[in-house]
A and B are shown apart, each in its own frame.
Chain A
Amino acid sequence: MSQRYIDEEGFAIEGDNLDRKRFYGKIFVGVCFVSAIIGVIALGLLIADVINEAWGWLDWTFLTYPPSQLIENYLPDGRGAGIFPALIGSIILIALTAIFTILLGVGAAIYLEEYAPQSRLTSLIEANIANLAGVPSIVYGLLGLALFVRAFQMGSSLIAGALTLTLLILPIVIVASQEAIRAVPDSRRQAAFGVGATKWEVIRDVVLPSALPGIMTGTILSLSRAIGETAPILMIGAATTMFAPPIRDGPYGTQLPDLFGPFSAMPMQIFDWATLPQEGFQHVAAAGIVVLLTVLLSMNALAIYIRYRYETKT
């Protein structure tokens, strides 16, 4: 190609190209925008579909009655049937999981951020946490089955379910807590050391209080993931259908959660309903999903509220 050829033709092509490029650019933006909207449309369709299927099947009775094998009982003029045992089961399960994950997750995050030396072991722990977050949840279910249910002889109990879910969400909670702890300015630690606090006092009285909103946000978000998890608690043998919530009588007429007894949880119950062949149970499953999503989205809203509330303060 000669120099002259490029000069002469170059300008013409350049102008041409620019128009064409602008045109391609516009199409490209359009395609990108449509793609970005597809996810939103899918979300809208999913929620509309669930609400549409659940319409007329969700009422107070559904929340307060145990499930039934007969579809008639779920109808407004039936004897009453619903999600009550699984709802209570899920709430206790998540409360237990919350206790375990906060203790272990925050402890691990404090060690990694405040104590851990720059060593091989530390980087191994950090790489391992990243990797654990990518392990499929059903594999955690197998771990729970072999370890908690069989080896520790806990059976298919609430406590085995909570421990399994704890191991599942622990990596996410640790990473979120680490970020919250890292965000505490070093000057505050130095100030506390300066007035003679010990390491533990600095962590307890300075670091943790400032990091708490971040830790709470991360923990609640991962708990909202745990409450919808089906595969792990299915593998440890959670009941698909329970007719009574996992509650036993305690001393002095109190009611206590039956930690070592069988339990069901909302995702298991929904799975059961969704796989029943009889006509009508898909509406019951949809009603169950509405309850599950309501609890889950409320937890998300709480987490966002905490983040917003304390972000503006500092």
Chain B
Amino acid sequence: MSTADEVDLSHGGSRREHRVDSLVRWVFFICALLTILTTVGIILVLVQGAVTFFLDVSIIEYFTSIDWAPLDADPSFGIWPLIWGTLVITVGSALIAVPIGTLTAIYLSEYASDQTRSVLKPLLEILAGIPTIVYGFFALSFITPQIQRVFPDTGTFNALAGAIVVGIMIIPMVSSLSEDAMHAVPDDLRQAAYGLGATRFDVSTNVVVPAALSGIVAAYILAISRAIGETMAVTLAAGMRPQITTNPLEPIQTMTAYMVQVGTGDLSVGSIGYQSLFAVGLTLFAMTLAMNLVSLWIKGRYREVYR
């Protein structure tokens, strides 16, 4: 079959084959281009909606007022209570997920036997795959009652339950991305440290973690970015009251929870409440985009190239 003639013939190809080939190429190109169009679409939609919003509401009020009361008769649009709510959840969940996730990653990468890994990793993957609405339910029906046992005055909705549940949710993300980074540290480095008389503890904490640090930090940032954008769990657990409070047992409202509140209500298109969705959405998008870009930058900038 594979005579020179055959090959030659096909490479010349019929006109029809050529047409099909270039048509197919264009179709696939458009599929790939669609991802760029998605980003462009997101930015256009958010910016256009936000601009319409800022025609009615002063952008200075938006960024300086500390009062968020969009549905009042005399509405007020200061974004800070929502940003505060988001920050409380983000910082609280990071305090839980960063240490637990990192130590989990160290255990999986440096200590666990293959058998233990083959049990733990799929379980953590399942934890990562549980829908966020289920986490919200878990917070309401389990975590908040436990908090109420210790602090009986705690209401049904409180920031603490939200932070805990989001923290649990992002543990698998921290652990699996950090473990990937630790896994990429070449074994030579470990062996060299052992050769110098280091214990396993030394190797883990003084060789592997520093060597994988850029990947680990990138994992933290991605997980935090996920916590910022987390929606259903915080809506169900932390409530719908926009306020700046340092008491974690009080209800708060995150940016995402506000969007859910508007989304489930009956707001007519073009109303100020509807337009505020896009201003808040743009603020949220800008925050997560910044985090994602920083994470990419750290990964690229501080990547140790091992050969």
Q: Which residues of A come within 8 Å of B, CB atoms?
A: 18, 21-22, 24-25, 28-29, 31-33, 35-36, 38-40, 42-43, 45-46, 49-50, 53, 103-105, 107-108, 110-112, 114-116, 124-125, 127-132, 134-143, 145-147, 150, 167, 170-171, 174, 194-200, 203, 221, 224-225, 227-231, 234-235, 237, 240, 267, 270-271, 274-275, 282, 285-286, 289, 292-293, 296-297, 300
- With A134-B292, A229-B131 known as contacts, the answer to whether A198 contacts B231 (CB < 8 A) is no
Whether the Cβ atoms of B130 and A46 lie closer than 8 Å is yes
Whether the Cβ atoms of B264 and A240 lie closer than 8 Å is yes
Whether the Cβ atoms of A138 and B31 lie closer than 8 Å is no
Whether the Cβ atoms of B29 and A115 lie closer than 8 Å is yes
Whether the Cβ atoms of A112 and B133 lie closer than 8 Å is no
Whether the Cβ atoms of B38 and A143 lie closer than 8 Å is yes
**Interface residues of B: mostly helix, strand, loop or mixed?**
helix
Whether the Cβ atoms of A198 and B39 lie closer than 8 Å is no
**Interface residues of A: mostly helix, strand, loop or mixed?**
helix
User: Which residue, of B6, B129, B292, has the highest number of chain A Cβ atoms within 10 A?
Assistant: B129
Closest 5 CB pairs of A and B: A136-B229, A228-B131, A196-B10, A107-B31, A25-B201
CB contacts under 8 Å to A, within B1-52, are: 1-2, 6-7, 9-11, 13, 17, 20-21, 24-25, 27-36, 38-39, 41-42, 45-46, 48-49
Q: A40 to chain B: which residues have CB within 8 Å?
A: 120, 123-124, 127
| Residue in chain A with minimal CB distance to B127 | A43
Q: B209-227, CB under 8 A of A: which get 1 and which 0?
A: 0000000000000100110
Q: Is B303 part of the contact surface with A, judged by Cβ < 8 Å?
A: no
- The A-B contact count (CB < 8 A) is 277
Q: Which residues of B come within 8 Å of A, CB atoms?
A: 1-2, 6-7, 9-11, 13, 17, 20-21, 24-25, 27-36, 38-39, 41-42, 45-46, 48-49, 99-101, 103-104, 106-108, 111-112, 120, 123-124, 126-127, 129-138, 140-142, 168, 171-172, 175, 199-202, 204-205, 222, 225-226, 228-232, 236, 256, 259-260, 263-264, 269, 277-278, 281, 284-285, 288-289, 291-293, 295-296
- With A125-B32, A271-B133 known as contacts, the answer to whether A29 contacts B21 (CB < 8 A) is no
| Residue in chain B with minimal CB distance to A21 | B199
Whether the Cβ atoms of B36 and A125 lie closer than 8 Å is yes
